[in-house]
Amino acid sequence: REPSGFEDGGTNPRQVPGPSSMHSFVYVGSEDGEPDWCIGGTYLAYRKIRRRMGPFFKLSAKAQEAVFGAKKETGKRLRKIALNAHVAKMNPRRKNHIDLFGMSDLERRFLRRPYFFNDGLDEKSEEIRGLHHLSFARDLVAQYEWPVLMWQTNPDFQKGAGQDALYEHGGAANIASGYYFMPPAAPDGGYLGMGIQL
């Protein structure tokens, strides 16, 4: 769950025996044109997101769910959601929509993991808390930058939608970020990062 109590990660790729959506969305494959030592690893996009919870908690339960576009307890999408609801901006689910690069909305998913932080108080005695948002993908441009830049932070996606409601009404603000690569697990008798050549 994220800091305001909403379920997070409901549309994450799942790890199952054999070929899985994790291999499709998360792990770098031999067909990706990366060095051999990258195969089986993944890219990490990190965001430190501060959440000012006071104004958000003053909203009614129904209004809070409208900000996310999902039920608080289950994380399931609401039947009717606003175009600027968080889930609509990050996971639009347009049926049969193929973009200019030949990809559907579902092909732009990534694995998410939230971790809480609490850094004490700021100069106004307001809590500095929120989450470390970790996003794992085999292709950062196609799966992470596109949803963030073309959907979430684009006020004209979808037309007339405006800013992501989580940032406009939910007290969210990005305060740190970075891109990283995570090598695959060490082979038997080997070590993490084995084969890396700089």
Give domain status of residue 51, yes or no: yes
pLDDT at 138: 96
For 98, other C-beta atoms within 10 Å of its C-beta total 11
Give domain status of residue 23, yes or no: no
Q: Which tens digits make up the pLDDT trace of 27-81?
A: 999 999 999 999 999 999 999 999 998 889 999 999 999 999 999 988 899 999 9
pLDDT at 165: 96
Give domain status of residue 187, yes or no: no
Q: How far apart are CA 185 and CA 37, in angstroms?
A: 11
Cα dihedral sign for 78, 64, 14, 24? positive
pLDDT at 75: 87
Q: How far apart are CA 82 and CA 156, in angstroms?
A: 14
Cα dihedral sign for 131, 50, 133, 44? negative
Tokens 């968080």 correspond to 86
| Overall pTM > 0.85 | yes
Give domain status of residue 30, yes or no: no
**In total, how many domains does the chain have?**
1
Going across the sheet that includes 111-121, the strands are: 111-121, 127-137, 42-51, 172-182
Please give the residue range of the domain that contains residue 177: 43-182
The chain-wide mean pLDDT, for the chain, equals: 91
Total number of residues shown for the chain:
198
pLDDT at 21: 85
pLDDT at 193: 86
Give domain status of residue 9, yes or no: no
Give domain status of residue 33, yes or no: no
Give domain status of residue 20, yes or no: no
Give domain status of residue 12, yes or no: no
